[in-house]
Amino acid sequence: MAKKLWEKNFSVSQEIENFTVGKDRGLDLFLARYDVLGSLAHCKMLESIGLLASEEWQLLRQGLWGIYSSAAAGTFRIESGVEDVHSQVELMLTRNLGDIGKKIHSGRSRNDQVLLDLKLFTRSELQDVCELVMGLFNALVGQSEKHKDVLMPGYTHLQVAMPSSFGLWFGAYAESLADDMLFLQAAYRMCNRNPLGSAAGYGSSFPLNRAMTTELLGFDSMNYNVVYAQMGRGKTEKNVAFALASVAGTLAKLAYDACMFNSQNFGFIKLPAECTTGSSIMPHKKNPDVFELLRAKCNRIQALPNDILLIMNNLPSGYFRDLQIIKELFLPAFAEVKDCLAMAMYIIERIEVNKEILNDSRYDAMFSVEEVNRLAAEGMPFRDAYKKVGLDIESGKFVPCKEVHHTHEGSIGNLCNKEVIAFMESTFSSMDFEKARRAERALLQE
């Protein structure tokens, strides 16, 4: 069995090891590629300050490239008795290169290693999430434009209220995602700062070049204060979780609307048969299970920030093992969010709208405000017009005019989709994902 990086003249009991290692061997597979990237940057920096000879750096680089390839191919494994991904990488290098492999930890702690791995992993995952959000946004805007002239009831208190449109309904969720992108932008900028070199939270007596590793890894800047770099563990995950929860909140509300509007009582939208499931007893059923599962999954994602907060909220500065548990909640959440976004886009692109909703007389009353406004525009005091239309409705004399003429910004006749698109694209493009990708490719280039 491999010795621990910290093990000296005693070993912990198997029960203690099982409890303290927990799920790290499985969860750290999420981080393997990023641990290698961090080690490549760190070793190149060590060579630049004379702690590695040029020949040693070349050997380590070749070894790390091989480990990266196995991680990218999904064949990298953390052996039994090895605590984590950092220990496994160092063990593999030492087996192949001897004492040279033992030099890669100079000026590092597993504390700043895992900080770095988490930030690189999160940065990459946020890029994927942002691109999927953009895809769903475009699908919603497309449907908004396509159906901008199709009216539907708007509701307050789940009571028929005023005229709305499918242009407004689809467009509302598009703009909600544009605001969610602001959260994602803040999350990305926070995790795109380099903690490497903070070691165990108090720096190193080696003359580390942190600016160099910051550039090599494509970060926007470093976490300058080494104590604060360690304080960022948990804080970064919590704030990223808030961004994911914001996206999930938009998806959950959209799913609720879609389930309701798809029901026979509303009949506003229709899902293609291949996007529904059936009943084992009722042959007529076509259930919107996709939207129901989206709603449940996204509600669970919205609990993530609070779960993380309760683990790290009352910890003082410095590292504590409590923070290990956050990985169990945080790392798998991205796959869930990405799955929900992809499925939402798939359904939205295929959804059908009912263009004949207003033929049903139960929606006539939603045009009452239009009539009040028409009378007021002709000179009748608004309150008198309100009273007249109300009495006409109660006496059954109200005859609606089902044409609407809304022209102000953001209304039925002026959706402002172009402005929302410009806002979204400005936020999205400000994150400059290609800078990080270029840096990572350069570290892996032969």
Please write the tens of the pLDDT for every residue from 412-421. Answer: 999 999 999 9
Give SS3 for 286.
Answer: coil
Question: Does the pLDDT of residue 13 top 80, yes or no?
Answer: no
Contact between 34 and 117 under an 8 Å Cβ cutoff? The reply is yes
Q: What angle do CA 59, 62, 63 make, to 5 degrees?
A: 85
Q: Which domains does the chain have, with CATH numbers?
A: 16-106 (1.10.275.10), 111-356 (1.20.200.10), 363-425 (no CATH)
pLDDT in tens, 279-309: 667 777 778 888 999 999 999 999 999 999 9
Question: Does the pLDDT of residue 103 top 70, yes or no?
Answer: yes
How high is the pLDDT of residue 47? 98
Q: What does residue 317 show for φ and ψ, rounded to 5 degrees?
A: -70, 160
Question: Does the pLDDT of residue 201 top 70, yes or no?
Answer: yes
* Residue 263 CB contacts under 8 Å (≥ 6 apart), including other chains: none
Q: Which two tokens stand for residue 13?
A: 């009991």
- Looking at per-residue pLDDT, the higher value among 276 and 224 belongs to 224
The lowest-confidence range among 17-21, 47-51, 268-272 is 17-21
Characterize the bridge pairing of strands 352-353 and 269-270.
antiparallel
How high is the pLDDT of residue 4? 54
Give the integer Cα–Cα distance in Å for 373 and 364.
16
Rounded to an integer, the average pLDDT of 172-177 is 98
Scanning the structure block, which residue is given the tokens 């093990």? 7
pLDDT in tens, 382-394: 999 999 999 999 9
* Residue 375 CB contacts under 8 Å (≥ 6 apart), including other chains: 385, 388, 389
Scanning the structure block, which residue is given the tokens 């004379």? 50
Contact between 304 and 244 under an 8 Å Cβ cutoff? The reply is yes
The pLDDT > 90 percentage for the chain reads 83
Contact between 208 and 107 under an 8 Å Cβ cutoff? The reply is yes
Give the integer Cα–Cα distance in Å for 333 and 15.
29
Give residue 190's identity as a one-letter amino acid code: M
> pTM (2 decimals)?
0.91
How high is the pLDDT of residue 19? 67
Question: Does the pLDDT of residue 317 top 90, yes or no?
Answer: no
Q: Which two tokens stand for residue 38?
A: 């961090």
Give the integer Cα–Cα distance in Å for 417 and 411.
11
Rounded to an integer, the average pLDDT of 143-151 is 97
* Residue 389 CB contacts under 8 Å (≥ 6 apart), including other chains: 368, 371, 372, 375, 398
How high is the pLDDT of residue 373? 94
The pLDDT > 70 percentage for the chain reads 94
Question: Does the pLDDT of residue 3 top 60, yes or no?
Answer: no
How high is the pLDDT of residue 2? 54
Rounded to an integer, the average pLDDT of 166-195 is 97
Rounded to an integer, the average pLDDT of 7-16 is 62
pLDDT in tens, 323-373: 889 999 999 999 999 999 999 999 999 999 999 999 999 999 999 999 999
Give the integer Cα–Cα distance in Å for 433 and 189.
11
Question: Does the pLDDT of residue 8 top 60, yes or no?
Answer: no
How high is the pLDDT of residue 248? 98
Contact between 195 and 119 under an 8 Å Cβ cutoff? The reply is yes
Classify residue 10 by burial, with Cβ atoms within 10 Å: 0-12, 13-18, 19+: exposed
Sign of CA dihedral 91, 96, 99, 101: negative
CA distances, 295 to each of 5, 178, 224, 256 (Å): 44, 20, 40, 7
Residue 273 DSSP code: G
